[in-house]
């Protein structure tokens, strides 16, 4: 498999540390608001990557954080705490906000058929890990204390900017929402590992630490969670392009300084989704969520297909016109697949389907070319070379990665079987009642109840309801 690696700026053959377990870390959401559909584009790309790795035979161990503390308005540790901002906005506690938006985020993942990472860890559940890591960084002299805060000294590293290729002085710290100078830092490019003093003293969540009551910086969360769950050598780390600097740059700095060796070989970044006004961002106030799309009549699968139509490393412009085109395409292919599925005939000829399997895989293995992989899917639907059984077999296989709900579950057959079973049970029960064997009659009712089937006795017959 070939993947573009932000670290080397090349598309390279992916070689894992251990073929029997690929370790993958993907930065999770800051749960102070709903995810916007731009955020969700990044999670779709990561989902495709994980599923492709599985498809080509690699077991993946993947971890993701939920940021519920430490992420300030600017990614470079200045400005107001995002969680606090959310809590104030809604007049709730930080933890209430975190719980609510974490659940909303999970609903989005479910709606979009995005597989949840095997390990999901809240930032607030790993405070001891951050403290341990910061203590080591202080011992090794990579970190320093100034006015109550602990900072990472980026000048202690030769290649702090290895991910971005920037020279130290060229880089402005920070960048998303304005920069504020922090006079405690030795250099403005240094970043915070632990805060005990911030301009915003009403920080709700604080923990005791060797440096006083405080809270962790945002960047340390991902390094510590990744090392805790995935070990000292990480295969792939992903995120959106805005994470490259400063977040991932800082993750590399503190992880490698702590571990004393190279940490992660492959860094993959998804480009942004923009709207007509520019980058989609929550700080702008209004932003598009998946629920808004649903309310407007777009199945989440249409948004997933909208994303898969373009390459993850290209900026994608959102528009309802394109969504409408995608909707038409999606409905058309679903109709065709439905017809194919209802007329399955023939035998599977392995050699015939192999050609399509290879081509589909080749496209995805070429730096996740989902658009070309979709073209192979459309060819399968159209071709006269394959019979319907072969087509459905391929479509189901491709959908393990695409996850577009292409083939409806075989409701018809299941329903028929279920219907016969229930009717049979109803017959047995009425016989039991006639025989005054009420124990058996109750037993039958309970057996059905366990399967969420409720019997309703009317004057002349018994009806049923399935939950």
Nearer to ligand AMP, 27 or 389 (CB): 27
Rounded to a whole number of angstroms, the minimum distance from the CB of residue 378 to Zn ion is: 36
242 makes contact, choosing from ligand AMP, Zn ion, none, with CB < 5 to 8 Å by partner type, with ligand AMP
Q: Is 252 in the site for Zn ion (CB under 5 A)?
A: no
Among 24, 27, 273, 301, binds Zn ion (CB under 5 A): 27
Read out DSSP for 102-143?
Answer: HHHHHHHHHHTTPPPPSEEEEGGG-HHHHHHHHHHHHHTTSE
Nearer to Zn ion, 75 or 365 (CB): 75
- Smallest distance from the beta carbon of 29 to ligand AMP, in angstroms? 4
123/448 with CB nearer ligand AMP: 123
Which tokens is 78 given? 């200045």
Q: Is the peptide bond before 246 cis (omega within 30 degrees of 0)?
A: yes
Closest CA to 25 of 226, 163, 217: 226
User: Whose Cβ is closer to Zn ion: residue 28's or residue 86's?
Assistant: 28
Q: Find which of ligand AMP, Zn ion, none residue 41 binds, CB within 5 to 8 Å per kind.
A: ligand AMP
Helices marked H in 260-407 — which ranges?
290-295, 300-308, 320-342, 350-365, 370-382, 388-402
Q: Which is nearer to Zn ion, 27 or 37 (CB)?
A: 27
Residue 230: which of Zn ion, ligand AMP, none does it interact with, CB under 5 to 8 A by kind? none
Place of tokens 């979009």: 112
Closest distance of CB 460 from ligand AMP, Å: 59
Nearest to 77 by CA among 244, 161, 192, 183: 192
Neighbours of 121 (CB within 10 A): 20
What lies within 8 Å, CB to CB, of 201 at 6+ separation is none
| Sign of the CA dihedral with 414 first, then 420, 425, and 426 last | positive
Joined tokens for residue 342: 């209802």
**Contact assessment for residue 1 and residue 7, using Cβ atoms and an 8 Å cutoff:** no
Closest CB to ligand AMP among residues 41, 429: 41
3-22 residues in contact with Zn ion (CB under 5 A) are none
Q: Which residues are within 8 A (CB) of 302 and not within 5 positions of it... i.e. 6 or more apart?
A: 293, 323, 326, 327, 330
**Which residues sit at the interface with ligand AMP, rule CB under 6 A?**
27, 29-30, 38-39, 41-42, 239-240, 242-243, 270, 272-273, 279-280
365 contact, one of ligand AMP, Zn ion, none, CB 5-8 Å limit per kind: none
Rounded to a whole number of angstroms, the minimum distance from the CB of residue 218 to Zn ion is 8
In the list Zn ion, ligand AMP, none, the entry touching 62 (Cβ below 5 to 8 angstroms by class) is: none
Q: Which of 127, 222, 323, 426 binds Zn ion (CB under 5 A)?
A: 222
Among ligand AMP, Zn ion, none, what binds residue 222 when CB lies within 5 to 8 Å by partner kind? Zn ion
Interacting partner of 38 out of Zn ion, ligand AMP, none (Cβ under 5 to 8 A depending on kind): ligand AMP
Query: Which tokens hold the place of 195?
Result: 């805060």
- The residue with its CB nearest to ligand AMP is 240
- Contact residues for Zn ion, defined by CB under 5 A: 27, 222
């Amino acid at each position: 498999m070939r993947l573009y690696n932000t670290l080397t700026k090349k598309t390279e053959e992916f070689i894992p540390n251990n073929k029997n377990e690929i370790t993958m870390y993907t930065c999770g959401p800051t749960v102070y608001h709903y995810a916007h559909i731009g955020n969700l584009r990044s999670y779709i790309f990561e989902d495709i990557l994980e599923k492709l790795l599985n498809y080509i035979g690699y077991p993946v161990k993947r971890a993701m954080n939920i940021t519920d503390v430490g992420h300030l308005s600017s990614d470079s540790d200045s400005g107001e705490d995002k969680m606090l901002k959310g809590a104030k906005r809604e007049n709730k506690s930080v933890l209430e906000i975190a719980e609510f938006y974490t659940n909303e985020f999970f609903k989005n993942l479910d709606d979009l058929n995005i597989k949840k990472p095997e390990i999901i860890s809240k930032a607030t559940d790993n405070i001891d890990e951050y403290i341990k890591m910061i203590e080591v960084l202080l011992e090794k002299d990579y970190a320093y204390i100034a006015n109550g805060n602990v900072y990472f000294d980026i000048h202690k590293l030769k290649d702090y900017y290895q991910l971005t290729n920037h020279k130290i002085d060229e880089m402005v710290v920070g960048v998303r929402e304005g920069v504020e100078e922090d006079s405690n830092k030795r250099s403005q490019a240094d970043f915070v590992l632990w805060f005990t003093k911030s301009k915003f003293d009403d920080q709700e969540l604080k923990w005791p630490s060797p440096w006083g009551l405080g809270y962790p910086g945002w960047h340390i969360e991902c390094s510590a969670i990744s090392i805790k769950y995935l070990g000292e050598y990480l295969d792939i780390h992903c995120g959106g392009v805005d994470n490259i600097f400063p977040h991932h740059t800082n993750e590399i700095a503190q992880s490698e300084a702590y571990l004393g060796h190279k940490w992660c070989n492959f860094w993959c970044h998804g480009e942004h989704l923009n709207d007509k006004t520019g980058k989609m961002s929550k700080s702008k106030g209004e932003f598009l969520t998946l629920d808004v799309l649903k309310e407007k009549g777009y199945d989440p699968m249409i948004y997933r297909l909208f994303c898969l139509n373009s390459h993850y490393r290209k900026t994608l412009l959102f528009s309802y016109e394109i969504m409408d085109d995608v909707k038409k395409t999606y409905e058309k292919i679903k109709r065709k697949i439905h017809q194919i599925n209802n007329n399955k005939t023939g035998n599977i000829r392995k050699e015939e389907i192999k050609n399509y399997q290879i081509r589909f895989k080749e496209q995805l293995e070429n730096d996740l070319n989902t658009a070309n992989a979709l073209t192979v899917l459309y060819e399968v639907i159209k071709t006269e070379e394959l019979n319907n059984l072969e087509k459905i077999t391929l479509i189901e296989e491709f959908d393990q990665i695409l996850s577009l709900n292409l083939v409806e579950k075989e409701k018809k057959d299941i329903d028929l079987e279920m219907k016969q079973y229930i009717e049979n049970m109803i017959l047995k029960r009425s016989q039991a009642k006639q025989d005054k064997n009420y124990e058996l009659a109750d037993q039958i009712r309970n057996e059905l109840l366990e399967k969420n089937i409720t019997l309703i006795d009317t004057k002349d017959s018994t009806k049923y309801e399935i939950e």
